[in-house]
Structure 1
Amino acid sequence: MKKHPDNIFSENIVYSLDTKKQTEYDNLLWESVLLLQVSGQMIFETSSEKITAHPGEIYLVRKHQFIKTTKTPINNEEYKAVLFILKEDVLRKYALERNLNVREKYKDKANLRLAESPYIKSFFNSLKPYLQDPKNIQDPLNILKVKEAVELLMRLNFDLTGFLFDFSEPHKADLDSFMRQNFKFNVSIEKFALLTGRSLASFKRDFKKTFNLPPRQWLQHRRLAAAHFEIEKNRKKPSAIYLELGFESLSHFHFAFKKQFGYTPKDIINQHKTK
C-alpha cells in the first residue's frame, strides 16, 4: 500500500482524495477538516477512536490530532473523498466579526458525524469546479468559502461553537501517557513535539528524562514490542500490521524485528504450526 506524505493539507482549503487501489497514510491534522465520503470506504483512526466512513456520510474532524487513514475502493468503484480545511486564520477573523468568545478549551468528541443536511451537500457540490486545481481558490474566495461552511455548520448545530472557535494551543501533555497512546502514528518527531506543546529541543530533553531513550529508538522498540504481541498472541501476519504500527515498509519491519529479538516473525509463525 502506498504511503502518503503527512503534510498534504498544508496549502489547500479543498483536497480531493482519489484512488483505484487501497492506500494508507498517517497525518497530523493541524486544522479542522470537513470530510465528505463520496465513494469507497475510509477508515480513520485517532488515538481515541476508529471510525469507518461510508458513501454519503459527512464528518467534522477536529484539529490537533494524529490520524491514520485507510482508503478502500469498493465494488470496483474508484475511491473518492473530498476534504475542506477550515483554516484557522479565517476562523479567527470570523470570531472577531461575530464577537464570539470561547473561553473554555473544547473537551467534547473530536470527530463528529454530521446529520444529513441539504445545505452541507450543496456546499460540497459548489466545490466541484475547484477539485481539479484546488489552488485556484485564492483570497478572497477561500475566505468566503470557509465562512460559508461555518455559517452552515452553525445553522446545523450551534453547539459547534466550542469545536470551531477554540484557538488554544496544545497543552504540555504528559509524555508517558501521550506517547503510549500515539506511538503507532508514522509522523516526524517534530510533529510529536508540536502536539505535546513543546519545542523540538524541549521534547527531546523531556523524552530522555521520561523514557531514558531518545525518541526514535523508543518508538522503534515500542512498535516492535506491539508487533511481537500481535504475531505471537493474536497470530497476525506481519503484512497485516506493519503499516498499522508505523513502519514504512515490510522489509524494514522484518530487518528491525530480527535485529531487536534475534529471530524473525516467521520463526514465531512456525512455532504456532508445530503446537
Structure 2
Amino acid sequence: MKENLEVLNYSGIFLSCFSNNHTSCVPTLKDHTLIYLCSGEHTIVENNQKIILKPGESAFVRKNHRLTMFKNYGENGQYKGISITFQRKFLREFFNAQLKHNKSQESITPTHQNVFKLNNTPDLKSLFESLTPYFDSGVEPTKDLIQLKLQEGIHILLKTNMNFYPILFDFTEPWKIDILEFLNENYTYDLSISEIASYTGRSLATFKRDFSKISHLPPQKWLINKRLEAAYETLKSSKIMVNDLYTEVGFKNLSHFQTAFKKKYGFTPASFHKSGSMKG
C-alpha cells in the first residue's frame, strides 16, 4: 500500500501524519529519537522485543541500532506522531555548555538497551502538547524555540532516567554496520547515499571508500542493479503486475524502471511477465 504521508520537519522535530492503514519505516535511526504518539498506533520491533505505543505515550530510541517501526491507523483515527531527534552536534554543544564540569554522572554504567518506553510524566506531556499546534497552524516555530524544546527534551530524559546520560553523551566514533548486509535488507527504501553512509556509521567519504572494496559498481548503480534483480526474480515466481512491482523493489518512476530493466535483460518487464519466460 502506498503511503499517504504528511511530514513537517522543523530542524529535527518531525510532525508526521499517515492517513492510510499501515506503513513501515526505515529500520535504523541515525540520531537518538524521542517519539510521542498523538493518535493511531506506533509499534517498535527490535529483535524479539516489541513496544506498542498508544495515544499519549512516548518512547526513546537509541541511534544506529536495527529496528522496524510500524505506524498504524488506530481506533482513534489516523496516525499522528511527533519525533524529536537529537543530533550529535547539538548534544556536544549541550554537554559543553551545561554538563562538562559535572563529574557526578560520569560513573553511571552504560546500558545496552536500545528502546525505552517512557512513563507518561507531566513534563513529557507538556513538552509535546506545546508542539502539537504546529500540525495545523502552518506557522513554523523559530530556531530559538526549537533549541529550547530540544534542551527541554534532554532535561526531561535525564530527569526520567540517568541511564540516558552515557547514551546521549557518548561521542566516540559510531559502530560501523556491515554495508552489504544493510543494503540487502534496505534496498527498497528511498535513501540517499549520504543517508546510507550515516545509517551504516560512516561519513560519506568513508562509506565510498569502504564500498569500493566490496563492489566495482558505484553505490547508486549497485542499488539499481539489486532492485532490477529483485524485480526479475519476483516476475519469475509471482503474478504481480508491473505497475505494482516497481515501487515494491524501490523504483519511484515506472518509466525509469522499464528502461533500466530492458537495458539489463534485453526485454521489457511487461513482456517477460506476460510470457513467463525470457522471450521478449
User: Structure 1 length as normaliser, TM-score?
Assistant: 0.69
SS at match of 2:17: strand
Matched, 1:138 2:137: no
Match of 1:92 in 2: 92
Contact 1:102-1:166 at 8 Å conserved across structures: no
Match of 2:120 in 1: 117
Matched, 1:224 2:264: no
Post-superposition CA distance 1:18-76 (Å, at most 9, x none)? 35457979778543221222223457789x79978654242323334799877554569
Match of 1:79 in 2: 79
Distance apart, 1:147 and its partner CA:
2.9
Distance apart, 1:170 and its partner CA:
3.2
Match of 1:15 in 2: 14
The amino acid that maps onto 1:40 is G
From the superposition, tell whether residues 205 and 252 of structure 1 become closer, same or farther in structure 2 (CA, over 3 Å). Answer: same
Give the 4+ runs in structure 1 shifted more than 6 A: 22-28, 43-46, 48-52, 65-70
From the superposition, tell whether residues 173 and 38 of structure 1 become closer, same or farther in structure 2 (CA, over 3 Å). Answer: closer
Match of 1:246 in 2: 250
Higher-Rg structure is 2
Unaligned residue ranges in structure 1 (runs of 5+): none
Post-superposition CA distance 1:187-227 (Å, at most 9, x none)? 12233334445554554344233112221221112223234
Match of 2:269 in 1: 264
Contact 2:251-2:257 at 8 Å conserved across structures: yes
Contact 2:40-2:76 at 8 Å conserved across structures: no
Match of 2:214 in 1: 210
Unaligned residue ranges in structure 2 (runs of 5+): none
Using the alignment, how far apart are the partners of 2:196 and 2:156 within structure 1?
33
The 10-residue stretch of structure 1 (146-155 or 228-237) with the greater mean CA deviation from structure 2: 228-237
Q: Report 1 or 2 for greater relative contact order, CA contacts < 8 Å, sequence distance ≥ 6.
A: 1
| Identity rate, percent | 28
Contact 1:16-1:81 at 8 Å conserved across structures: yes
Post-superposition CA distance 1:245-267 (Å, at most 9, x none)? 32223443344344434452674
Q: How does 1:143-182 map to 2 (within 5 A)?
A: 143-171=147-175, 173-182=177-186
The amino acid that maps onto 1:166 is D
Please report the RMSD computed on the Cα atoms of aligned residues, expressed in angstroms.
4.4
